[in-house]
Amino acid sequence: MAEIRLSGVSKRWGSFIGVDKFDLTIPDREFLVLLGPSGCGKTTTMRMIAGLEDPTEGEILIDGKVVNDLEPKDRDVAMVFQSYALYPNMNVYENIRFPLRVRGSDPATHKEKVMRASAMVELDDFLHRKPAELSGGQRQRVALARAIVREPNVFLMDEPLSNLDAKLRVSTRAQIKNLSHELAVTTIYVTHDQIEAMTLADRVVVMEKGVVQQVGSPTEIYDRPANTFVASFIGNPAMNLMKGEVAGGTFRAPHTEIAGLSIGDGPVTLGFRAEDAEVAGEGGQITAPIYTLELLGDATMVSVRIGGALVSAKADKSFRAEIGDMVSIRIPAQICHLFDAETGARIGD
Partner 1 sequence: MASKAQRTPTGLKIAANLFVVVWLILAAFPFLWTFWGSFKVELDFFSIADWTNALTGKNTEATYGRPFTGAGYHGAWVQEEFWRAVINTFIVCFFVVLTSLTIGTLGGYALSRSGFRYTFWLLIIALIFRAMPPITLVAGYLLPFFEWNLWGILPTTIIVLVAINQPFTLWMLHSFFQNIPKELDESAKVDGCTQFQAFRHVIVPVMWPGVITTGLFSFLLAYNDFAVTSMLLSESNRTMVPEIAAFLGTTYTEGNVMFAVAAVVSATAPLFVLVMFFQRQIVSGLTAGAVKG
List residues near partner 1 by CB under 8 A.
Answer: 50-52, 71-73, 77-79, 81-83, 85, 87-89, 98-99, 102-103, 132, 146, 150, 156
φ, ψ dihedrals at 29, nearest 5°: 70, 10
In whole angstroms, the minimum distance from the beta carbon of 116 to partner 1 comes to 17
Give 49 or 288: the residue with its C-beta nearer to partner 1: 49
Q: Which is nearer to partner 1, 71 or 349 (CB)?
A: 71
Distance (Å, whole) CA 205 – CA 34: 5
Nearest to partner 1 of 1, 132 (CB atom): 132
The C-alpha atoms of residue 25 and residue 63 are separated, in whole angstroms, by 11
Residues in the chain: 349
CA dist list (Å): 230 to 20, 45, 52, 224, 310: 18, 19, 28, 9, 18
CB of 150: closest distance to partner 1 in angstroms? 8
Minimal distance, residue 136 CB to partner 1, in Å? 12
Tell me if residue 144 falls in helix, strand or coil.
helix
Please report how close the Cβ of residue 81 comes to partner 1 at its closest, in angstroms: 5
**118 neighbors 41 (Cβ within 8 angstroms):** no
C-alpha 206/C-alpha 214 separation (Å) is 5
Q: Considering beta carbons, is residue 40 or 79 the nearer one to partner 1?
A: 79
Per the rule left: phi > 0, alpha: psi between -120 and 50, beta: everything else, 244 is: beta
Phi, psi of 120 (to 5 degrees): -60, -30
* Dist. CA 79–CA 157, nearest whole Å: 6
Work out whether the CA dihedral 270, 276, 281, 284 comes out positive or negative.
negative
Q: Toward partner 1, which CB reaches closer, 132 or 296?
A: 132
Question: Closest CB to partner 1 among 153 and 269?
Answer: 153
Q: Shortest approach of partner 1 to residue 332 CB, angstroms? A: 50
To partner 1, the closest distance from the beta carbon of 123 in angstroms equals 17
Q: For residues 54 and 124, which CB has a smaller minimum distance to partner 1 in the complex?
A: 54
Least separation in angstroms between CB 282 and partner 1: 58
What is d(CA 206, CA 36) in angstroms, rounded to the nearest whole number? 6
